[in-house]
Homo-oligomer: A and B are copies of this chain.
């Protein structure tokens, strides 16, 4: 019997239930104050000594007896005898006994005979740091449950606290489970998955102040899972098992926790993150995380992070929120709280946000995301151009300078992103892979700064402008060449099917992997078909689409396709063969306002830099001969 039902508890209710059921007992230890940065105090700490421990000069100058100076004035300067009436004193030095004021060195004239001349009286206790001015013995320095910052350590040491009682970091065991799991460094075979989740979970826990440890991997075997859980429960404060938390026939996590302890929740009404298990064994929290990376990390943040912050008695840090305009419609299912990763760019005076893939398996979407759109369970989503609040992954002052590229993607844009950052740390470039037509549309809707476009129009024998003119009515557009690049057949090593022309492809009947509609490469392929007098149904696999050159090459490398159309670097990335077909022009479309803006300057500087051009051409299949050149319509 396969158990296939998960509950659908709202996330915050699930958290409340969990926190009400489990508690991490406090453990404390004494450590050297100098090593206590970022640790959390167990109790309030009061100063043992005063700082300064004596009256000290607050200025460089001379120590005097105030009442001996009362007669000094502009009209009748006063001469003070060294030793007797004054002593030189530097900032921080103790006030000599019998003296009760300091005069700043700038206000003293030293005569050659060693006398000091002053022209104004000193008031008693002026320019003196009194005992305890900084910290006074008995004073509260920091309360309990306080995360120690650099300045706190300074005040503690000033107050004579050289050792401090802190809350120990809760120890968290991370158990990777699944028979398909291998070490990230192990050789990859079909069906094996490198365990990168454990490293991510470990790293998040570290950032939150816990003391995580990755345990040995456990295969999909109920006995071994139970054994691993029990061992971890003995030694750790919290146990996380990843994954096996869903309802497949090899998902043993639920049964194991229920048998050894208690499950409070199996299934939360979110996407991603649904198959989460919250439970306890011997009163210690046990968390079953989903196997999909994005689900796992979000679930970790929702349930484990609050547990750890509550242990430390610290407020849960909140992400900065920012209102943005949606560049695209974002739909959501009723009854499920959805978390959509978004990119954000500042375009023509507004922050525009666009959704990334919602695939729970796409770790890269968390790498690329600038923020998170949370769609409540009772919402069907949001319309294009609607204003929504986004939780930011990056601070707003960085997003101000986030350049958004849309349209056809090319590896040159990735190199450009790094060169921009090297030139100015505030510059970043995000790319959305929308295909050339998608890119033109995005520029038309002011949703991107620039779009990669490579669309050949055989009628006009021109690149890009015919399509732009058809799709957009905007007048202030500029088209700048980035590169010429070679398109060709991506085929298995040795080109076993001997594909050279599109006729060869049709005749051989081998499975082809196509690009998505609107992609320049797709349009090129359709053009080749027409030229050869072929129809799409003569190409086996014409309807199978991938979104990037690299994904086309990946399909050929995996053997699920025998040929694709794409660029040389994609073939090289997979050690595949490449049969050159034609050089095409790849331009960047942008508004004139962006073209002439300060933000755009570094882009042009970089793409016309010979060192950068060499780097691109060394990849193979590129010519940068017109890079940076403004491309006009052919008449």
Contacts and interface: CB of A to CB of B under 8 A. Distances in A.
Interface in A395-414: 395, 397-398, 411, 414
Nearest to A60: B248
A395 B318 contact: yes
Nearest to A161: B184
A364 interface: yes
A372 B95 CA distance: 32
A249 B93 CA distance: 12
A52 B141 contact: no
Contacts of A555: 130-131
Contacts of A554: 50, 130-132, 136-137
B313 A138 contact: no
A152 B367 contact: yes
Given A2-B105, A418-B43, A196 B153 contact: yes
A105 B557 CA distance: 30
A518 interface: no
A109 to B, nearest CB: 11
Interface string A558-573: 1010000000011011
Interface stretch (A75-83, A187-195, A227-235, A439-447): A187-195
B44 A138 contact: no
Given A318-B395, A560-B131, A91 B292 contact: yes
B106 A4 contact: yes
A255 interface: no
Given A157-B194, A196-B157, A553 B138 contact: yes
Interface residues of A, number: 133
A11 interface: no
Interface string A91-126: 111100000000001100010000000000000110
Nearest to A400: B315
Interface string A186-208: 00101101101101111110110
Contacts of A55: 558, 560
Nearest to A247: B60
Given A397-B315, A418-B144, A139 B199 contact: no
Interface string A511-543: 000000000000000000000000000000000
Given A34-B199, A49-B188, A550 B137 contact: yes
A323 interface: no
Interface stretch (A383-391, A419-427, A458-466): A419-427
A299 interface: no
Contact of A151 (B206, B312, B363): B363
Contacts of A201: 150
B421 A134 contact: no
A418 B143 contact: yes
A53 to B, nearest CB: 5
B418 A291 contact: no
A432 B203 CA distance: 40
17 contacts: A4-B105, A51-B194, A91-B291, A94-B191, A130-B555, A133-B362, A136-B554, A137-B553, A137-B554, A138-B572, A139-B364, A141-B367, A142-B367, A151-B297, A155-B367, A160-B184, A310-B425
The 6 closest A-B pairs by CB, nearest first: A138-B573, A157-B196, A150-B203, A140-B414, A60-B248, A132-B554
